[in-house]
Amino acid sequence: MNNNIYRVGTANMYENTLRNLGTRQTNLSNLQENLTSGKRVVRASDDPVSAAQAERALNRLARIQTEQRALETQRNAIAQAESSLGDAVGLVQEARQLLVSAGNAALSSSERATISNQLQSLRDQLTAVANRTDTNGLPLLGALGSAQSPFLGPLGSTPDYLFAGQPGQAASNGVAIPNTLDGDAAFMFDATRDGSFHAAITQGTGTVIAPGATTASVPAGAQPNRALTTSPITVTPGFVFNEDPATGQAYSYSVSFSNVTLNPATNTLSATYNITSTDPAFVPPAAQTLTPIKIGEKNEFSINGVPGMAFKITATPTKAVDGTITLSPADGDTIGIAPNASLFSVIDKAVNELRAAPNSSLASQAAGQALANVDKGLERMGNIRSFAGELLNRADRITGDQSKRSIQLEADRSRAEDLDMIKGISDFQNQQVGYEAALKSYSMVQKLSLFNFIG
């Protein structure tokens, strides 16, 4: 049997033990630091990968907070814009009620003038509302960019109102909404899109009339079986003839007969009309025969006009005529139709025409035209206001999405650097017990020396 005796140096043993005790003390100190901070990764050197993941999550959280602050500013601006449109709708509805009142044939000229003054005041208020700004001084209805006051007018020219900016609506994205609305779409008219026109009637040889109204009579003659011919009604070149601003449809011209002796067998009277034009490209249709007219009735028909067009109606009674033929419009009258530039224009024209109306017929015409165009303006404002509501809903959805992203990013950061407290306490206690055992064993071994026995 080979018995080997090894000699262990006491100094070397003590040195190793002290080094191990220092390591245990350092680990215990690190665990204590983790517990007090609540983090597993206190320094990047603790876990470089986890530290990088936590830093990315923190950066994204900071960006979300910045985007949310910007979104709140945008939300407030759109809320103010929606409120302004609500005020504008209220003002226009008040104007509409006044226009309905102005169409009353029983009103006197002074009463119509009072209504005109009220309409003027409402139009001034409407312009002020349309030019409102937010708390930063930016126009609420500035579209893609505009002057400090987007709506300019009245200008005393054509068009009489202008939008001083770039029409259009800025787009939203996943984290932001626009901070302005398209005021051009809310208040300004486009002839093709909206069909808002104003008909100006100029008196010719007949009485000034509204489209479709009855005018002064044209003498008919009294010979049996004699054709009753009216002189042509000419449309002034350059004007659009075929659209009624009140309905957006082709004008309907009525022919009526009174005090006539009709065919006793059928109690009717026949009439024809034909159309000519100075436009060489116009191909005149064949003469059209109206449905036989009975006594007390009107026969209405529609024609699509071109510049320089004229039409003539010939009524042929089947028996002796003793009376008149009434035609609308009157002979020689001209109708000029031009698009309205804006809702402000509609109210201004109604104000001017109501003040200048010599009779209730023209006042009713002015009120009727304005009502039709005001309704189109209310529709445009309603569309933009509903869009503002959708933007506010979108802002709420963005806030909800950002909140969910924040929770997810916070969870990612926590997984990367936060300490599992239960595990941390367990590790600390284990390390503490191990350190205490190491200290006790070192103190006991340190006493095992020959000098202790000698002494």
What's the whole-model pTM score?
0.61
* 400: confidence class by pLDDT, cuts 50, 70, 90: very high
- Tell me the one-letter amino acid at 334: T
What is the pLDDT confidence band of residue 113, given thresholds at 50, 70 and 90?
A: very high
3-state SS class at 9: coil
Average pLDDT on 22-43 reads 78
Which residues touch 132 (CB under 8 Å, ≥6 apart)? 80, 84, 139, 140, 141
Q: Where are the domains of the chain?
A: 59-195+366-403, 197-339
Level-2 CATH architecture, domain 197-339: Sandwich (2.60)
Domains 59-195+366-403 and 197-339 share a fold: no
pLDDT at 49: 84
State the maximum Cα–Cα separation within the chain, in Å, rounded to a whole number: 167
Instruction: Output Rg (C-alpha) for the chain, integer angstroms.
Output: 45
47-51, 293-297, 348-352: lowest mean pLDDT where? 293-297
Superfamily of 59-195+366-403 according to CATH? f41 fragment of flagellin, N-terminal domain (1.20.1330.10)
Q: Which helix (H) or strand (E) holds 353?
A: helix 343-356
Nearest Cα to Cα of residue 180 among 91, 89, 75: 75
d(CA 374, CA 368): 10
Name 425's Cβ contacts closer than 8 Å, sequence gap at least 6: 35
pLDDT tens-digit readout, 402-442: 999 999 998 888 888 877 778 778 777 877 777 777 777 77
CA 96, distance to chain mean position in Å, is 21
Predicted pLDDT at 298: 47
> What pLDDT, in 10s, does the model give residues 333-385?
455 678 899 999 999 999 999 998 877 877 888 898 899 999 999 999 999 99
Across residues 206-214, what is the average pLDDT? 31
Per-residue pLDDT tens digits for 229-286? 444 444 333 333 333 445 444 333 444 444 444 555 555 555 555 556 555 665 666 6
Burial of residue 107 (number of CB atoms within 10 Å: 0-12, 13-18, 19+): buried
Residue predicted with more confidence, 103 or 261: 103
Residue with the two structure tokens 């698009």: 339
The string of pLDDT tens digits covering residues 157-170 is: 878 999 999 999 99
Please report the pLDDT score of residue 10 as a whole number: 64
Locate 455 and state its tokens.
């002494």
> Which residue shows structure tokens 């002015």?
366
